[in-house]
Amino acid sequence: MRQHTFLTFILCAAASMAAAQSFTVYEKDNSDHGYNVEDVDSIVFSTEPAKAVSAEPREISGRWCSLGTSISWLNENTASYPLTKGYQTRVMEKLAFKNFSNRAVNGGVLSSAVNQVVRADFYTIEHGINDWGHSTPVGTIDDYINNTKNGTFAATYRQLIDRIFSRNDKARVILCTPRKAYGFNGYLPDHWYDPLNDIYLEDYANIIRQIAAYESFPVADFFAEAGGQRQLDNWSYDTALHPNDDGMQIMANILIQAFEKILPE
């Protein structure tokens, strides 16, 4: 008589309790390949308790510095807005960094982040939406590589990355593409895919991806994954720039995936 041992599964006996039981299927001797229902001779259950799944966050040794716009700034300012918590707090419910510094600037463009850099082990940069609103020239990857200091978004990104590594030459950095947005009382076009002074929001997302590829930085791709025109109004508490709780959770999920690529085992 052959046997197959299956994975532990959960039997829900009540809404507030669950008991784990493993089981072994004993097959008839003439069963040659896998098992079929007609081949099952008996099933034996065990009553060993399942191991509890820990709800505790993963402890991360090191300091996280969050650089960004009002979307990031909201994390410490939710009381004044229809939010329960920002995306960084949601990340830290899963990844408990030893220290955290939110250095985001309300209404800030990328250049405003340069002087906000403090020493940390991990940095995230969430910028692009306000540079689009202010029509900052995007520039090219050559502006970044050659450190042209010509005021373009790409050249300013080089200044910011240089500042980070001057604080900690072993820093781990995640670049975040801008979350799609539109409207906000005329600050942005009526659709995220419309141009603003001949510049598209996607242009900022693309240059961030190019910089990340050049530097081998992971990307939290909010632009690609945190909502499109159809969802933005439902995932924002205004029309449609700042994420609501649903929008913040989506951003957190994306950023956690990016962090997992650079965190030690």
Q: Give the separation between CA 121 and CA 161, rounded to whole angstroms.
A: 13
Q: Which residues contact 13 (CB under 8 A, 6 or more apart)?
A: 19
Report domain extents, the chain: 2-45, 58-260
Kindly indicate the confidence band of residue 264, based on its pLDDT and cuts at 50, 70 and 90.
confident
Return the SS3 of 130.
helix
pLDDT in tens, 32-88: 445 455 555 555 544 554 444 457 899 999 999 999 999 999 999 999 999 999 999
The b-or-e profile of 42-81 (16+ CB within 10 A means b, else e) is: eeeeeeeeeeeeeeeeeebeebbbbbbbbbbbbbeeeeee
Q: Give the separation between CA 10 and CA 77, rounded to whole angstroms.
A: 41
pTM: 0.80
CA angle 164, 166, 171 (to 5 degrees): 50
> 170: how many CB neighbours lie within 10 A of its CB?
6
pLDDT in tens, 101-149: 999 999 999 999 999 999 999 999 999 999 999 999 999 999 999 999 9
Q: Which fold has domain 58-260?
A: Rossmann fold (3.40.50)
Taking Cα atoms as reference points, which of 212, 138, 232, 220 lies closest to residue 177? 220
